[in-house]
Amino acid sequence: MTEIEIDAPRTYQVVTYGCQMNVHDSERIAGLLEQSGLVAAPPANGELADADVVVFNTCAVRENADNRLYGNLGHMAKIKRQRPGMQIAVGGCMAQKDRSLIIEKAPWVDVVFGTNNIGALPALLERSRVAQVAQVEIAEALETFPSNLPTKRESSYAAWVSISVGCNNTCTFCIVPSLRGKESDRRPGEILREIDMLVAAGVQEVTLLGQNVNTYGVEFGDRLAFAKLLRACGGVDGLERVRFTSPHPASFTDDVIEAMAQTHNVMPSLHMPLQSGSDKVLRQMRRSYRSDRFLSILERVRQAMPHAAITTDIIVGFPGETEADFQATLEVVRLARFSQAFTFQYSIRPGTPAATMPDQVPPEEVQDRYERLVELIEQIGWDENKAQVGKTVEVLFASGEGRKDGRTARISGRARDNRLIHVAVPADPAMQPRPGDIGEVEITYAAPHHLVADAPIRNLRRTPGGDAWQAEHETRPVGIGLGLPVVRGR
């Protein structure tokens, strides 16, 4: 009897650059590829995997994004020559911006697709394979929300939920509106149906995603829609935690603060981008708020939620920024007392108004200001963390954070206010938390960027999203329709 040889399935790797929106899109890209019969290539310890299909999901906002992409594409050229049938695809914001330029610079790329037509990727790969010609397809308008596509999530207990895409702002340093288009909002019922399905599949925490979440509803004429959505999340049984990113200070209103404070599962954490503490620079950035309004928002948030942790984004060295402007930023940072800040040195982004502004700040001055800002932020963050020592906090243990290290035998997780906590692993296996479980710990030590809890874990709850629960239920990684895991045996 002749043995029938079965071909192994093709493998894939998705390489992601950029923001949470890109991470969310990459989950959908992986889901589409698996729905098409591909399987994930084995991890390669941070290196590019030996895969049949490699997809670069790119960013056009972060510094040196184009250099990083083209450097990796150059590395892939040699690999592809040695691997017949291998395909390379480039998507995301850089693809939307550069389009055919990618093929000109890297003619070995097989597919280029944009931010608005992720769902077309499998067909483009097949078309390129059959025709042996690169396929470049960039949709100018959104074809479907990413959340409507199949997905492969790395986490069984946490999920991104897109509520809008695009942006109606005109910040002079940002190219996102020209790449992702004007804001487009999903209807509340569709969002809540997705959240219900996620929770039914074991998800404990959702993060609502949008370029500017607090203008959600502008497309269907309801300026209170975001606060209503937060309150509606409070009625989803089994949903432990709700977060969102990112709001814009210019349109952040008291109804959202009230909804955060009054909805039990909306977390007391807020990421509020400052960008600059100088009113002059804010005008040049077209940020449409001033430092006093920004600080007043933080004051009202803390009045409603005294234990809220607030994080931010700050750009140093924007064109025309003087030392006096920089000092204004330092003063706002001192008053705001952020628990953490994501700091960036301004660099020119072609296609943005700021790229051609006069008075570009010399790189050495930008570097000096950046170092002084980081030093202040780290000191304030450390002081704020020290204030947590002795407090009992609730931790959602997270596989994505990983163990701190083998020597200290700690597992990591996030507090309700989103602070990172490394927790001592109990000796008793029955009491060891698994990713997705929730417990209470006492903070015993504070570092600048994390907290430590070496006291015993109390009130440990095994949750549906945790590994303990998952081990008892048969799952498939990719669903259809809304792109959700299919869970059976419940």
112-123 per-position pLDDT tens digit = 998 888 999 999
Closest CA to 56 of 107, 9, 10, 112: 112
* pLDDT for 479: 33
What integer pLDDT is reported at residue 19 of this predicted model? 79
pLDDT tens, the chain, 490 aa long: 445 445 788 999 999 887 788 888 899 999 999 999 999 998 766 667 689 999 999 887 765 677 788 888 998 998 999 888 999 999 988 888 888 889 999 999 999 998 888 999 999 999 999 999 999 998 877 777 777 788 888 888 999 999 998 899 999 998 877 777 889 999 999 999 999 999 999 999 999 999 899 999 999 999 999 999 999 999 999 999 999 999 999 999 999 999 999 999 999 999 999 999 999 999 999 999 999 999 999 999 999 999 999 999 999 999 999 999 999 999 999 999 999 999 999 988 888 999 999 999 999 999 999 999 999 999 999 999 999 999 999 999 986 454 555 556 789 999 999 999 999 998 888 888 988 999 999 999 999 999 999 989 999 998 876 554 455 443 333 333 333 332 222 2
The residues spanned by each domain of the chain are 11-137, 146-385, 392-468
Q: Check if CATH label 1.10.150 holds for domain 392-468.
A: no
Q: Does domain 11-137 have CATH number 3.40.50.12160?
A: yes
Q: CB of 107 within 8 A of CB of 140?
A: no
Amino acid at 1: M
* 3-state SS, one letter per residue, for 341-409: EEEEECCCCCCCHHHHCCCCCCHHHHHHHHHHHHHHHHHHHHHHHHCCCCCEEEEEECCCCCECCCCCC
Asked whether the beta carbons of 252 and 27 are under 8 A apart, the reply is no
Q: Which two tokens stand for residue 230?
A: 């937060």
Number of H helices, E strands in the chain: 14, 23
**Are 194 and 159 spatial neighbours (Cβ–Cβ below 8 Å)?**
no
Distance CA 232, CA 404 (A): 36
Q: Are strands 458-461 and 135-137 parallel, antiparallel or unpaired?
A: unpaired
pLDDT digits (tens, 9 = 90+) for 270-313: 999 999 999 999 999 999 999 999 999 999 999 999 999 999 99
CATH annotation of 146-385: 3.80.30.20
Q: Are 142 and 165 in contact (CB under 8 A)?
A: yes
